Structure 1
């Protein structure tokens, strides 16, 4: 069964540029993973510091492999300190 992850992020204004750079880097690496069917970053039309990451994996194993990747671990360490508030994560 497919695994869908939706992550809502709000970034501190002063970190927007570095967030965009790192996020597009992790996006391309994640899309190249075996079992990743879709990985998109969406920017809120009304707030330039709110984003949604939409991920679709072939199955739970592919998602677990993603969470073990070096680029994922690096990204989590990067993004957590620059969030304006806790992320909202939905898993289907």
Structure 2
């Protein structure tokens, strides 16, 4: 069964440009992973510091493999300090 992850992020204003650069790098690398069907980042139309990451994987294993990747671990360490508030994560 497919695995869908939707993450809502709000970042600190001063980190916006770095966030965009690092997130697009993560997106590019994640799309190359075996089992990754879709990986997109969307910017909120009404708030320039709010973003959504939308991920689709073939199955649970593909998602678990993603979480074990070096680029994912690097990104988590990068993004956590620049968040304006806790992310909202939905997993389907």
Corresponding residue pairs, total: 92
Partner of 2:47: 47
Q: How does 1:27-66 map to 2 (within 5 A)?
A: 27-66=27-66
Deviations 1:40-63 (A, max 9, x none): 000000000000000000000000
Asked if 1:12 corresponds to 2:12, the answer is yes
- Displacement of 1:7 after TM fit? 0.2
What SS does the corresponding residue of 1:19 show, helix, strand or coil? helix
Runs of 4+ in 1 over 3 A off after TM superposition: none
- Displacement of 1:34 after TM fit? 0.1
| CA distance in 1 between partners of 2:32 and 2:44 (Å) | 25
Partner of 1:90: 90
* TM norm structure 1: 1.00
| CA distance in 1 between partners of 2:49 and 2:59 (Å) | 31
- Cα RMSD of the aligned pairs, angstroms, is 0.2
Deviations 1:45-82 (A, max 9, x none): 00000000000000000000000000000000000000
